[in-house]
Amino acid sequence: MNTGRYTCLEIFAKAVEDGGKIKVISGQAGSMEQAGMKSYHAWLKFPVETETDYEIVREGCHVSLCYLSGNEDILETGVCYLEQDKESGRFLPADKGRYENSPIRESYHFTPWKNWMNDPNGLCWFKGYYHMFYQCNPHFQEWSNMYWGHAASRDLVHWRHLPIVLSPQQEILEKPEEYKGGAFSGCAVAAGDKVRFYLTRHKGPLKDGEESIEQQWMMESSDMIHFTEEKCIIPKQPAGASFDFRDPKVLKIEGCWYMVLGSSMEGHGAILLYRSEDMEKWEYAHPLLTEEDKGVRCFECPDFMELDGKYVAIGAWMCHYDASRRYQMSRYYIGNWKDKKLEVESSGWFDFGSNCYAMQSFEHRNRRISIGWVSDFYHEHVEQEDGAYGSMTIPRELHIKNGKLYMTPVKEIAALRGINLYQGAGENFSIYGIEGNAYRAEVKFKENTPFDILLGKDGDKSISLRSDETGLYIKTEGVNSRDIIFRADVTQVTELEIYMDRRVAEVYVNEGEAAGTKLFYSSSKQGCFVIHADKPENIEGAEVSLMDTIWR
Ligand code: FRU
């Protein structure tokens, strides 16, 4: 493999038994080796010469992720992933086309190159790029000790994969049978010439409990590639708060800095408020809000923002089932900032599909943009070799209308619209065999009318969007979530915008009045869109078009 303009080779590896070895061999530049590797996960970094040929040889160890990094324009180029060729055993630049053609990762929803991903972290815009960090496990398709992955984009649509930024604490990596934890979720604040990051470090036994330690840490960067050492800024939860004490989000209100943290108090999920003058010394104030529902273990990944003249808090409800058995929904609360608390006037579900969790927002040029993790709460993931597990929602622009949180896909997503498959009105229609199963559909109705739209079918498994006398809902058949009704809180349906992308269905209703995200795994590379309205004459207009991939 030739290094091109890259200057660093990063390898995530684990010895099968203590004593494994990785050799990086070059006839031109000399060789390097990491011997005596242990049977726990290690992150190796080898400096390499540019435009030089190297061979990677692994002995007695497993490599889970490998890429070239270190070039000056990496924000433009991204890293270069290397994969081991099955026949020759050589590590070669990965075939990027696999992104576009493979049903095992999304086409226009962000996914990691492979393996596990959860919450978006550190969303911000800085010096011409949108940055997205995210919780990840580069080693396999399962949540485990947490790293921070990183990607950047100029347009919120096309992303470049960047080097991993943070890894779990060494003592956790060394004793995975005793501890779990790592670099948990957090946020970024771009202020002047640098960006400050706030995150939780978790260290605890395998089962969460009083011995679990969650502390808030801070670091900085001025180029988003190099980061200062982390500094502990809040070592302990305040009196009365549970050991769940994490996911800092920082904002400025009336010239003062505030941080919200997810926790619980006396058995009620709570969003805790901290205050600071200098962004480094933080003082606990009080709960910003406490949730009455007793079924919430804690809030996770709280967000707090000013929006359209109001204040909005959003938080993910850990371990909660709602009345229709939807698991871990996120709730928004709209109100006024009064006595440094949120005086709530209205609230609602953030996403009615309940495969969207841990959303985070940021502001750029007067737009409040949010991204959520497309989460698999009903265990519907189908593991495939080299597959990605977890993706991000389309970035959404947030607004408030009539006391409700409105969400629409950012306008930039229109750049992906491809070949038109259907345009018409006043009739029911079916499209089967949509190659690649990545499309967008828009339907407008003259008046509320019962309908059934088939969005995916695989043998006796299916996903549909339906509207009947009980309202609008997503319904699956033949999969784990089949007994759950994913209902939107709307009283009528006048407009639908549907994004189907391989394994993810994202539905926007009535120009943002509700949004629903639902996973649906299909073994077919082809998609379908079949609409049947009781009164087809009420279909004022419909359009279906292919969506391009973001990976090109
Ligand atoms: C939410 C969450 C956060 C935590 C992170 C760990 O999905 O549990 O509360 O920081 O994921 O990966």
Q: Which atom of ligand 1 is nearest to the CA of 357?
A: 7
| Domain segments of the chain as ranges | 8-94, 115-236, 412-547
Q: For residue 103, what pLDDT is reported?
A: 78
Q: Which residues have C-beta within 8 Å of that of residue 411, sequence separation ≥ 6?
A: 397
With pLDDT > 90 as the criterion, what percentage of the chain qualifies?
96
* Mean pLDDT computed over 209-221: 98
Instruction: Give the alpha-carbon dihedral of 289, 189, 165, 502, to 10 degrees.
Output: 70
Between 256 and 103, the higher pLDDT residue: 256
CATH number of 412-547: 2.60.120.560
> Cα 38 to the chain's mean position, in Å?
31
**Band of pLDDT at residue 301, cut at 50, 70 and 90:** very high
* Average pLDDT taken over every residue of the chain: 97
- Spacing, Cα 300 to ligand 1 middle (Å): 7
Ligand 1, atom 6, residue with closest C-alpha: 184
185 Cα to the center of ligand 1, angstroms:
6
Pull the structure tokens for residue 365: 């040029």
Query: From the CA of 124, how far away is ligand 1's center (Å)?
Result: 19
* Strand spans (E) along 339-470: 341-349, 356-364, 367-374, 388-389, 391-392, 396-401, 404-409, 417-424, 429-435, 438-445, 451-458, 461-468
Q: From the alpha carbon of 200, which atom of ligand 1 is closest? A: 10
What pLDDT was estimated at residue 104?
79
Question: pLDDT (tens digit, 9 = 90+) per residue, 11-20?
Answer: 999 999 999 9
The rounded Å distance from CA 263 to ligand 1 centre is 12
Two tokens, residue 65: 């992720």
Return the pLDDT at 97: 76
Q: Is the pLDDT of residue 41 over 80?
A: yes
Contact between 185 and 358 (Cβ < 8 Å): yes
Q: What is the pLDDT of residues 83-93, one digit of tens each?
A: 999 999 999 99
3-state secondary structure 175-224: CCCCEEEEEEEEEEEEECCEEEEEEEEEEEECCCCCCCEEEEEEEEECCC
CA of 373 to the centre of ligand 1 (A): 11
Among 301, 329, 371, 392, which is best to mutate for testing ligand 1, by the most ligand atoms less than 8 A from CB? 301
How many whole angstroms separate alpha carbon 390 and alpha carbon 516? 16
For residue 200, report the distance from its CA to the centre of ligand 1, in Å. 9
Ligand 1 binding pocket, CB closer than 6 Å: 118-119, 135, 146, 184-185, 200, 246-247, 300-301, 357-358
Ligand 1 atom at minimum distance from 143 CA: 12
Q: Ligand 1, closest atom to CA 119? A: 7
Tell me, which fold does domain 115-236 have in CATH? Answer: Tachylectin-2; Chain A (2.115.10)
CB 531 within 8 A of CB 542: yes
Which residue's C-alpha comes closest to atom 2 of ligand 1? Answer: 300
Which atom in ligand 1 lies closest to the alpha carbon of residue 316? 1
DSSP code of residue 146 = B
According to the model, what pLDDT value does residue 504 have? 98
The ligand 1 atom nearest the CA atom of 247: 10
> Which of 136, 245, 247, 319 best tests ligand 1's pocket when mutated (most atoms within 8 Å of CB)?
247
